[in-house]
């Protein structure tokens, strides 16, 4: 039996997430992909599956804990007899003289590989900074004994133009920290020594292993340039001399905070994440705190009117509320209303019902809507952009990923269908159903909810004649779809019953003008009325 530490997997852009549910207990047996616990980020709740089978020996987290990528979750006792047997069979094939040499020379080597994996010790160096000048180490995010994941920030460097976080190129345990705050470093300078565990999937190269161990004992390390990360992006110099790292600036953008209003408490007055959270909290709690505080509703004792009950909101619900408030107040919304005659499209969809049953796919209206929106975004690329934080330019996207809003018991989530223009109606139908099921089961990953260019919010199954959706910034437009209604339409001198689909296009008037909004909505309705245009 072997002991395996189970850690939080890669969470994408999320920095810290909350443990909201534990699904296993000590002594319980789990299989691969059994759910261990539930984490909740600002975007969604997700179940974390077991990467291996085993018995839970201990649980390192509690409800309410904040964890990050690489945080220890629990310890499993794993039966590795099958794996060991395979490796032993391979080990017996090693020539006797090489085996003896290996045994003799690795007695004093700390890097003795164990069955199933081997330990690698390597040095992490400062990557290419785009300059040969030395820069200051102003912040260290790690310590000896810390476990880091790929892309976890190790240190923060500051040049005369900007500050940048240096990410870890590999996962492992920090065994030695080389740099200190205030030290000046340049490309190739050593940052830290990391111990990594590498799974053995084939017969190890004995000669290579010996060479590696000898180099490490001599205080040397192998060149790591092939594994080095790409050069960190250097932010343009700020005229206001704001010192903050990329992660802090991203948080400020998400919360709508002007960094020039904050006094940093980090090294050399550097703004850290805690400064932003303190600033936001002070604005909320201080009645004189400005626009954010001025929108705070006064507290009312509703108990004086009758019986009440306080129902706690989930983190997802609270974050959604903050995002909706920010988007509504920072995006000047314009709503363009239209109707699409989908009589022929609905008849065509009904004809495909039997083929859908044969394929095992439920063909809803959404795949056609996705395809039409992708076509419209290609025709009017000014809708497939995001406004840069500076407001000086827009980012034109060359891909077509579309989000579909899904209501769940935990709150609203928006899974993203990628490369809609490259997929068939049947492929889109399968993916829509799959993502909707994952959303209802809280199994969506953060990657599956990122990168949308445009969003569709459909209430057709619920009812209503129309609604105005809120733009999901940094996107610049969103489509609201209501329930199809049979209406009399004047065609060829007479009124005929037609199935009319209400559409509402909300867009950011900072980026999109009214003429383009009207043309986009009209073109989209035209595509839905005659889907033959989708093939043109």
pLDDT in tens, 333-357: 999 999 999 999 999 999 999 999 9
Predicted confidence band at 106 (pLDDT cuts at 50, 70, 90)? Answer: very low
User: Could you tell me which CATH class the domain 118-227 is placed in?
Assistant: mainly beta
Q: Are 235 and 155 in contact (CB under 8 A)?
A: no
Structural domain 317-535, CATH architecture: 2-Layer Sandwich (3.30)
Q: Are 117 and 198 in contact (CB under 8 A)?
A: yes
DSSP 262-317: ----SGGG-B-HHHHHHHHHHHHH-TTS-HHHHTPPPP--GGGTS-----PPPHHH
**Mean pLDDT over each residue of the chain, to the nearest integer:** 80
Higher per-residue confidence, 163 vs 116:
163
Question: What's the average model confidence in pLDDT over 68-75?
Answer: 90
What percentage of the chain exceeds 90 in pLDDT?
38
Question: What's the average model confidence in pLDDT over 291-313?
Answer: 78
Predicted confidence band at 229 (pLDDT cuts at 50, 70, 90)? Answer: very low
Question: What's the average model confidence in pLDDT over 247-273?
Answer: 79
User: Long-range contacts made by residues 381-387, C-beta under 8 angstroms, separation at least 24?
Assistant: 382/511, 382/512, 382/516, 383/454, 383/476, 383/477, 383/507, 383/512, 383/516, 383/520, 384/453, 384/454, 385/476, 385/511, 386/474, 386/475, 386/476, 387/474, 387/476, 387/508, 387/510, 387/511
Most confident of 137-146, 192-201, 256-265: 137-146
| CATH 4.10.320.10 residue spans of the chain | 246-294
| Measured distance CA(314)–CA(255) in Å, rounded | 19
Nearest residue to 53 (alpha-carbon basis) of 37, 68, 73, 36: 36
CATH node for 2-79: 2.40.50.100
| CATH 2.40.50.100 residue spans of the chain | 2-79, 118-227
Least confident of 243-247, 336-340, 457-461: 243-247
Q: With a cut of 70, say whether residue 104 has pLDDT above it.
A: no
pLDDT at 220: 42
Question: What's the average model confidence in pLDDT over 124-134?
Answer: 78
pLDDT at 134: 84
pLDDT at 197: 72
Question: What's the average model confidence in pLDDT over 105-132?
Answer: 62
pLDDT at 515: 96
Nearest residue to 508 (alpha-carbon basis) of 375, 326, 379: 326
pLDDT at 284: 59
pTM above 0.75, yes or no: no
Q: With a cut of 50, say whether residue 110 has pLDDT above it.
A: no
Predicted confidence band at 244 (pLDDT cuts at 50, 70, 90)? Answer: confident
Q: Among this protein's residues, is 509 annotated catalytic? A: yes
Structural domain 246-294, CATH architecture: Irregular (4.10)
Q: Are 486 and 498 in contact (CB under 8 A)?
A: yes
Q: Are 418 and 449 in contact (CB under 8 A)?
A: no
- Other CB atoms within 10 A of residue 288 CB: 7
Question: What's the average model confidence in pLDDT over 58-70?
Answer: 89
Higher per-residue confidence, 319 vs 190:
190
| CATH 3.30.559.10 residue spans of the chain | 317-535
Report pLDDT digits (tens) over 463-492: 889 999 999 999 999 999 999 999 999 999
Nearest residue to 531 (alpha-carbon basis) of 373, 407, 304, 360: 373
Question: What's the average model confidence in pLDDT over 98-110?
Answer: 44
Q: With a cut of 60, say whether residue 318 has pLDDT above it.
A: yes
- Other CB atoms within 10 A of residue 286 CB: 12
Question: What's the average model confidence in pLDDT over 48-52?
Answer: 89
pLDDT at 431: 96
Q: Are 23 and 441 in contact (CB under 8 A)?
A: no
Predicted confidence band at 13 (pLDDT cuts at 50, 70, 90)? Answer: low
C-alpha distances (whole Å) from 86 to each of 83, 203, 281, 372 are: 5, 10, 57, 53
Q: With a cut of 50, say whether residue 121 has pLDDT above it.
A: yes
Q: With a cut of 90, say whether residue 85 has pLDDT above it.
A: no
pLDDT at 210: 37
Q: With a cut of 80, say whether residue 116 has pLDDT above it.
A: no
Q: With a cut of 80, say whether residue 263 has pLDDT above it.
A: yes
CA 112, chain centre distance (Å) = 37
Helices of type H across 169-218: 206-217
Q: Tell me how far apart the terminal alpha carbons of the chain are, to the nearest angstrom.
A: 62
> Partners of 7 in the beta sheet?
72
Question: What's the average model confidence in pLDDT over 30-56?
Answer: 84
Q: Are 137 and 183 in contact (CB under 8 A)?
A: yes
List 141, 333, 401, 509, catalytic entry? 509
Question: What's the average model confidence in pLDDT over 489-515?
Answer: 95
Q: Are 235 and 165 in contact (CB under 8 A)?
A: no
Report pLDDT digits (tens) over 376-433: 999 999 999 999 988 899 999 999 999 999 988 878 889 999 999 999 999 999 999 9
Q: With a cut of 70, say whether residue 155 has pLDDT above it.
A: yes
Angle at the Cα of 476 from the Cα atoms of 256 and 376, rounded to 5 degrees: 165
pLDDT at 223: 41
- Report the interhelical angle of 425-440 vs 366-379 (nearest 10°): 110
């Amino acid at each position: 039996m072997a002991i395996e530490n189970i850690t939080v997997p890669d969470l994408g852009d999320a920095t810290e997430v909350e443990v909201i549910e534990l699904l296993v207990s000590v002594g319980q047996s789990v299989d691969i992909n059994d759910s261990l616990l539930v984490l909740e980020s600002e975007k969604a709740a997700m179940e974390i599956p077991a990467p291996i089978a085993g018995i839970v020996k201990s649980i390192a987290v509690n409800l309410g804990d904040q964890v990050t990528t690489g945080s220890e979750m629990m310890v499993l006792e794993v039966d590795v007899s099958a794996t060991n047997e395979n490796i032993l069979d391979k080990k017996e094939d090693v020539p006797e003289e090489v085996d003896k040499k290996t045994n003799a020379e690795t007695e004093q080597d700390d890097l003795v590989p164990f069955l199933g994996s081997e330990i690698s010790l390597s040095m992490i160096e400062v990557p290419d900074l785009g300059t040969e000048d030395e820069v200051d180490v102003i912040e260290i995010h790690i310590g000896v004994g810390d476990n880091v994941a790929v892309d976890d920030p190790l240190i923060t460097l500051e040049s005369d133009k900007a500050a940048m976080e240096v990410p870890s190129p590999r996962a492992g345990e920090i065994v030695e920290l080389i740099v200190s705050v205030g030290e000046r470093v340049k490309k190739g300078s050593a940052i830290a020594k990391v111990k990594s565990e590498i799974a053995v999937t084939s017969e190890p190269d004995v000669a290579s292993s010996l060479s590696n161990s000898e180099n490490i004992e001599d205080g040397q390390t192998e060149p790591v340039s092939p594994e080095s990360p790409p050069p960190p992006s250097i932010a343009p110099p700020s005229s206001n001399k704001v010192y903050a790292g990329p992660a802090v600036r991203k948080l400020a953008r998400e919360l709508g905070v002007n960094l020039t209003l904050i006094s940093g408490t980090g090294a050399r007055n550097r703004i850290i994440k805690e400064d932003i959270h303190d600033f936001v909290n002070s604005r909320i709690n201080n009645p004189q705190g400005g626009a954010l505080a001025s929108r705070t509703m006064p507290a009312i004792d509703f108990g004086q009117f009758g019986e009440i009950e306080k129902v706690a909101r989930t983190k997802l619900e609270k974050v959604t509320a903050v995002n909706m408030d920010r988007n509504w107040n920072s995006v000047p919304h314009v709503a363009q209303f239209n109707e699409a005659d989908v009589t022929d499209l609905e008849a065509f969809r009904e004809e495909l019902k039997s083929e859908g049953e044969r394929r095992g796919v439920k063909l809803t209206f959404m795949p056609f809507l996705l395809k039409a929106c992708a076509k419209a975004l290609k025709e009017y690329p000014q809708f497939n952009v995001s406004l840069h934080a500076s407001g000086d330019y827009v980012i034109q996207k060359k891909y077509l990923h579309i989000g579909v809003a899904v209501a769940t018991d935990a709150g609203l989530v928006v899974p993203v269908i990628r490369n809609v223009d490259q997929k068939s109606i049947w492929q889109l139908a399968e993916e829509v159903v799959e993502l909707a099921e994952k959303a209802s089961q809280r199994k969506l990953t953060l990657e599956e909810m990122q990168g949308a260019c445009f969003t569709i919010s459909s209430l057709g199954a619920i009812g209503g004649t129309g609604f105005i959706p809120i733009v999901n910034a940094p996107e610049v437009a969103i489509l609201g779809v209501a329930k199809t209604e049979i209406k009399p339409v004047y065609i060829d001198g007479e009124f005929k019953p037609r199935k009319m689909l209400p559409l509402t296009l909300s867009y950011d008037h900072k980026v999109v003008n009214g003429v383009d909004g009207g043309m986009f909505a009209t073109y989209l309705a035209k595509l839905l009325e005659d889907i033959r245009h989708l093939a043109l």
